[in-house]
Amino acid sequence: MNLAWRDVQHGLGRFILTCVGLSLLLGVVMGMVGIYRGLVAEALGLVRSAAADAWVVEAGKRGPFAESSRLPRDTRDAIAVHAGVAAAGAVVYQTVEFPHRGTNLRVFIVGAQIGRPGSEVRVEEGRAIVKSRSEVVANRNAGLALGERIRIGRDDFTVVGLTANATSSGGDPVLMVTLRDAQIVQWQFDPSAVRRETARDAPAGGSSDLVSAIIVRMRPDASPDGVIGSITRWKHLTAMTAAQQEEILTRSVIERARRQLGLFAVILLVVSTVVIGLIVYTMTMDKKKAIATLKLIGAPDRVIVSLILQQALAMGLVGFAIGATLIRLAKDYFPRRVVLETSDTAILLGIIIMVCLIASVFGVRSALKIDPASALGG
């Protein structure tokens, strides 16, 4: 006869409520870890999807995501013929808001040259952009429907494709358009004073022919350091590897948010540890008279140890299973991306098991000190 199971059956309602309450706490812990992972994934998504070997931006700038960068579009032509470069593509990045269905929709515009680096996108529904003007591929969380017409600035666009998991570091859904469309949108959404100043200083017709960055893909036999060094030296621009761009994003753009979420996840994990320990200890003390009775009838200590240990592990594992299920069912309803990695789940499961074992030690120590004679009390 398994005493732990019989004891659970005796107080099944209380055991289930305890597991459900614990599962909610563990679900919050897993959710915070998932939000942390999602924040990093969102920030690095655009960089990694571009599959760039190097990023070229305005001199003295750290990249199109960390700060504003403006380059003449023909800079791409000069970079494309540079030694060691296999292909180059100009891109424009711009955050805009436009009226949509009675409210303002905030999106991150990505403009790229069709067929060149930076234009690749994995379309899940519909098709990719094939026309030079007025077509857009939108991320699903923008809430746009396939075939829907939207107005950005003074131009109308048709949603021809839908993609997923394409967001900016701020969580804004991505809208992919052609480079020329993005330049026009960028020009329209610039402050009027900036437009007047740019138009005055730039040649006629060239005031809006600016891009945010150049995506570079190198030849297989090229030295990345050599190519980046020569571009920086001879073109008077800032060039960096994809790894450096990712480091700027994680260590600068989202650093404070990343650290805050990470710290909050650690605090929740510590709170969960304390709560589990208190629950196991309380459960042991509630069985004080039952344990005294077992000792009075001659039950060996290993029976009592097994009772406490099995119940603690059962509570932890059941609570973890319910919490993991709940957070997986709810993750798609979060406004920001939640990434639940198997490795994080396995690590958290290991921590929960260790916590249950450690909490059981304190419960066992208290149980073994119980006087068998106390079973005869009132």
Question: What average pLDDT does range 174-179 have in this prediction?
Answer: 95
Tens digit of pLDDT for each residue in 315-350?
Answer: 889 999 999 999 999 998 888 889 999 999 999 999
Determine phi and psi for 336, rounding to 5 degrees. -110, 160
**Among 253, 273, 263, 241, which residue's Cα sits nearest to residue 356?**
273
Question: What average pLDDT does range 99-122 have in this prediction?
Answer: 92
**Exposure of 236 by Cβ count < 10 A (0-12 exposed, 13-18 middle, 19+ buried)?**
exposed
Confidence of residue 306 (pLDDT cuts 50, 70, 90): confident
**Among 236, 237, 241, 238, which residue's Cα sits nearest to residue 225?**
241
Tens digit of pLDDT for each residue in 250-262?
Answer: 888 888 888 888 8
- pLDDT at site 370: 76
